[in-house]
Amino acid sequence: MNTLLDISGLSLEFRTRGGTVSALQNVSLSIGKGETVGLVGESGSGKSVLSYAIMGIQDPAARITAGSVRFDGMDLLAMPQRQLADIRGREIAMIFQNPRVALNPIRRVGQQIGDVLARHTTTLGRDREARAVAMLQAVRIPDPQRRARAYPFEMSGGQCQRVMIAMALAANPSLLIADEPTTGLDVTTQAAIMRLLRDAAGDRQMSTVLITHDLALASESCDRIAVMHAGHIVEVAPTRELFAHPRHPYTAALIRSVPASAATLADLDSIPGSLPDLRAPDLPACRFVERCAQAQARCRELPLPQVVENTSTVSCHFPL
């Protein structure tokens, strides 16, 4: 596999009035060219924080304390901001969770796509207007010429999400990060958006990181899945293998909590407890230890990633 994105030993913390929040710790993950990787886990596990760190748009209170993020051989963390801004949007693009918030409410959507083209391509003048309309057509927005003149508030949630996708794809990026791209959409629109993303990735040989808490969605769309818990990546495996034989107790608990895994409501499991307080000065080495039914004394020591069957890695002293 030719690696496009290589995250190695990434740690990030937030300095807040309530203390220092250890949001990411020793996170390592690689994305191959043309590969779709799902990043799954509970809300608050660090999925979006990781995506913002890749893009270089983390909160001012955030500080990267260790690790590297290499894109196509270039170290993004060591890169000058001007150079990173050139890559962001052109080579690496992102779809944000809430398109209504991400889009400029007082600028027509065609102009917003044109802004991306002006910043990251050589498309000029009226050609940008035609290209913006073509991008809206490519993401299957009806009557794209008229819609290009619309403001975000004049469009439905699904249409706004399609505009975000058009903006993300406008400069033909090599890597697309989709952060909960179907949040707040009805089931039919969710399916259409995911089909659109799959088609775009296939047509362009584009790598994709799909961030979601929806395991079913990840199972249908991803080549591999990385499971996050409380700022750690605890397991990475090919999708089919992950669902057939989860190795980390947290992964197994996540899968058991999915409605499709239970024959009746009574069979549906929940994960006991909650995420640990990431401000605590005495965070355990394994942040799942307080919620794990098979925890032992050794689990207080740092579990190093183990390679399983040459295809998966799991960070657990006692993998399943």
- 233-252 pLDDT, tens per residue? 999 999 999 999 999 999 99
- In the chain, the percentage of residues whose pLDDT exceeds 90 is 64
CATH number reported for the structural domain that contains residue 248 in this entry: 3.40.50.300
With respect to residue 130, please indicate whether it lies within any of the assigned structural domains.
Answer: no
The 10s digit of each residue's pLDDT in 25-82 is 999 999 999 999 999 999 889 999 999 999 999 889 999 999 999 999 999 999 999 9
Cα distance between residue 212 and residue 25, in whole Å: 20
Residue 202: inside a domain, yes or no?
yes
In a domain, 124, yes or no: no
CA dist 61 to 19, 23, 217, Å? 12, 12, 32
What mean pLDDT is predicted for residues 144-154? 95
- Measured in degrees and rounded to the nearest 5, phi and psi for residue 178 equal -110, 105
With respect to residue 140, please indicate whether it lies within any of the assigned structural domains.
no
* Least confident residue range of 40-49, 124-133, 141-150, 235-244: 124-133
- On whether residue 151 sits in a domain, the answer given is no
Between 310 and 194, the more confident residue is 194
Buried (b) or exposed (e) across 48-70, using 16+ Cβ within 10 A?
bbbbbbbbbebeeebebeebebb
- At residue 1, does pLDDT exceed 60? yes
Residue 303 structural domain = 3-91+173-314
How far, in Å, CA of 16 to CA of 70, rounded? 28
User: Residue 45: inside a domain, yes or no?
Assistant: yes
Q: Mean pLDDT, the chain, as a whole number?
A: 90
Domain count, the chain: 1
In this predicted structure, the answer to whether residue 101 has a pLDDT above a threshold of 90 is no
Q: Could you write out the three-class secondary structure of 171-203?
A: CCCCEEEEECCCCCCCHHHHHHHHHHHHHHHHH
Separation between Cα atoms, residue 150 and residue 107, nearest integer Å: 9
CA dist 64 and 104 (Å) reads 29
pLDDT for 166 equals 93
Predicted confidence at residue 236, as pLDDT, reads 97
Please check whether residue 286 lies inside any domain of the structure. yes
Percent of the chain exceeding pLDDT 70 equals 97
Cα distance between residue 302 and residue 288, in whole Å: 12
> What is residue 260's predicted lDDT score, i.e. its pLDDT?
64
Instruction: Please give the Cα distance from 103 to 168 (Å, whole number).
Output: 12
Label residue 19 by pLDDT band (50, 70, 90). confident
Lowest average pLDDT, out of 7-11, 80-84, 298-302, goes to 298-302
Q: Look at residue 263 in the predicted model and tell me its pLDDT.
A: 57
> How confident is the model over 213-232, as pLDDT tens digits?
888 889 999 999 999 999 99
Among the residue ranges 19-23, 87-91, 174-178, 299-303, the one predicted with the least confidence is 299-303
pLDDT value, residue 309:
82
**How far apart are the C-alpha atoms of 201 and 6, rounded to whole Å?**
19
Q: Per residue in 267-301, pLDDT tens?
A: 667 788 888 889 888 888 899 998 888 889 888 88
Strand 74-75: give its sheet, edge to edge.
19-32, 3-16, 62-71, 74-75
At 133 the pLDDT is: 95
pLDDT at 193 over 60: yes
Residue of higher predicted confidence among 47 and 304: 47
For 177-188, the pLDDT digits (tens) are 999 988 878 888
pTM of the model: 0.92
| Angle ∠(1,78,278) on CA atoms, nearest 5 | 85
Dist. CA 24–CA 142, nearest whole Å: 42
Assigned domain for 139 exists: no
